[in-house]
């Protein structure tokens, strides 16, 4: 299961926002040869930012938008008014979430192209589309029940595979592989692929040193924290460790880098934003340890971690993110996990790190 949705607003400290958002169907220039396009989303985030990069004989698109008739109509406007008769020559998909890969097959067929993406994102898109490999609602229900969620809480939640197919009515049947560290030449500039983990398997961000621009995708967003969840297909995973490790790889970029995120406004202040995200997760981990002085399930911890409870689809992401924090502490030997009489997992604080193993 995978999704683009993000839950927590983490207020950024002193970020600089140099640009104003474009109107639907039009673009805002952001740097030499880079144009910003916004597409609406039919859920809480409201929009996704897409990027058009002027290439030698056409355009490179970064991300595709969620497949609604409105987004298709806006693309038609963009083809007519913005692309100035030059074809789309390449499509890059940062990751498999539906607002990013959504119309990739449609755009690809139109221009005779296969998208560029990392292999795990391509494969997970197919698993999510074909409801296999741990991506079904039944898999989620079983997994979250194990983590203490009452079955009744699932009432009214549409299945994630339906959600996925709404946004991605067709998955591309072939792709070109993006590899971590490789440079792609676009319009005379080298763009380096920086793979990030923890939000999706191998999310591709793109960095151009010559232009001092990072297309961060969902890995770093200016206002909301990126969703970092454990999903049923890998129940023992520690995606928070992967995510925090991926932020380290972005922290070394120049402080003046203009960051182009998938949601929100382009900004400068990457290192300050990364520090804010780290502080946010550190605070969540501390809170989890505090609550787990008594044995707790993820479902019991959730409202205390988020300061509220969730219903509907957001509940799935909040559960995934709660388990991510619990698994992280368990793998760091700060919590231990046991099953209670009903078979639910409960997590309990280990009084002092390492004590469990002392003689
Ligand atoms: Zn995403």
pLDDT digits (tens, 9 = 90+) for 233-288: 999 999 999 999 999 999 999 999 999 999 999 999 999 999 999 999 999 999 99
Q: How confident is the model at residue 358 (pLDDT cuts 50, 70, 90)?
A: very low
* Residue 12: predicted pLDDT: 57
What residue spans define the domains of the chain?
A: 27-280
As a residue count, the chain comes to 359
Task: Give all strands (DSSP E) within 152-274, no chain letters.
Answer: 176-177, 183-186, 189-196, 203-208, 213-217, 258-261
Q: What is the pLDDT of residue 266?
A: 98
Query: What is the tens place of the pLDDT at every residue in 29-82?
Result: 999 999 999 999 987 778 999 999 999 889 999 999 999 999 999 999 999 988
pLDDT of 152 strictly over 80: yes
Report pLDDT for 176: 98
User: What pLDDT is attached to residue 312?
Assistant: 78
Name 348's Cβ contacts closer than 8 Å, sequence gap at least 6. Answer: 292, 294, 295, 296, 335, 336, 337, 338
Alpha carbon 110 to chain centroid distance?
27
302 CA → ligand 1 middle, Å: 21
Q: 266 CA to middle of ligand 1, Å?
A: 17
Instruction: List the beta bridge partners of residue 27.
Output: 37
Which residues keep their CB under 5 angstroms from ion ligand 1? 4, 97, 218
> Which H/E stretch holds residue 30?
strand 27-31
Question: Does residue 299 have a pLDDT over 70?
Answer: yes
Residue carrying structure tokens 């539906």:
98
| Fold assignment, 27-280 | Metallo-beta-lactamase; Chain A (3.60.15)
Res. 315: pLDDT tops 60: yes
Q: How far is the CA of 47 from the centre of ligand 1 (A)?
A: 13
Among the listed residues 351, 240, 349, 334, the one whose alpha carbon sits nearest the alpha carbon of residue 296: 349
Determine the distance separating the centroid of ligand 1 and the alpha carbon of 195, expressed in angstroms: 13
Instruction: Please state the rounded mean pLDDT for residues 167-189.
Output: 97
Q: Are 302 and 322 in contact (CB under 8 A)?
A: yes
User: Mean of the pLDDT values across residues 15-19?
Assistant: 95
The backbone region for 224, taken as left when phi is positive above 0, alpha when psi lies in -120 to 50, beta otherwise, is beta
Q: What is the pLDDT of residues 79-98, one digit of tens each?
A: 998 887 889 999 999 999 99
From 269, 265, 299, select the one nearest 46 (Cα to Cα): 265
Q: Which of 15-19, 318-322, 350-354 has the lowest mean pLDDT?
A: 350-354
Q: How many A from CA of 103 to the centre of ligand 1? A: 15
Q: CA distances (Å), 20 to each of 28, 213, 268, 336, in order?
A: 8, 17, 14, 48
């Amino acid at each position: 299961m995978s999704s683009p949705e993000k839950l927590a607003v983490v207020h950024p400290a002193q970020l600089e926002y140099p640009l104003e958002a474009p109107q639907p169907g039009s673009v805002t220039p952001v740097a030499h040869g880079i144009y910003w396009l916004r597409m609406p989303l039919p859920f809480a985030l409201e929009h996704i930012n897409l990027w058009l990069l002027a290439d030698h004989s056409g355009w490179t698109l970064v991300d595709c938008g969620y497949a609604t008739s409105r987004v298709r109509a806006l693309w038609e406007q963009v083809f007519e008014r913005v692309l100035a008769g030059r074809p789309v020559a390449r499509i890059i998909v940062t990751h498999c979430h539906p607002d990013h890969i959504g119309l990739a097959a449609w755009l690809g067929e139109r221009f005779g192209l296969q998208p560029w993406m990392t292999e795990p994102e391509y494969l997970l898109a197919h698993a999510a589309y074909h409801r296999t490999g741990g991506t079904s609602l039944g898999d989620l229900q079983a997994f979250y029940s194990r983590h203490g969620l009452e079955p009744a809480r699932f009432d009214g939640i549409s299945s994630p595979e339906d959600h996925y197919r709404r946004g991605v009515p067709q998955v591309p049947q072939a792709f070109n592989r993006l590899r971590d560290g490789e440079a792609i030449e676009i319009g005379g500039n080298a763009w380096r692929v920086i793979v990030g983990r923890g939000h999706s398997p191998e999310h591709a961000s793109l960095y151009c040193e010559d232009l001092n621009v990072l297309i961060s995708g969902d890995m770093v967003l200016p206002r909301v924290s990126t969703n970092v969840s454990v999903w049923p297909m890998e129940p023992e995973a520690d995606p928070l460790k992967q995510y925090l490790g991926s932020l380290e790889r972005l922290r070394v970029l120049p402080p003046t880098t203009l960051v182009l995120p998938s949601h929100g406004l382009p900004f400068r202040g990457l290192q300050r934003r990364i520090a804010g995200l780290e502080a946010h997760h550190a605070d969540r981990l501390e809170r989890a340890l505090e609550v787990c002085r008594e044995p707790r399930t993820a479902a019991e911890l959730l409202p205390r971690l988020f300061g509220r409870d969730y219903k509907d689809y957001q509940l799935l992401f909040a559960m995934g993110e709660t388990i991510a924090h619990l698994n992280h502490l368990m793998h760091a030997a700060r919590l231990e996990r046991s099953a209670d009489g009903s078979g639910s997992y409960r997590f309990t604080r280990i009084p002092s790190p390492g004590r469990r193993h002392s003689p």
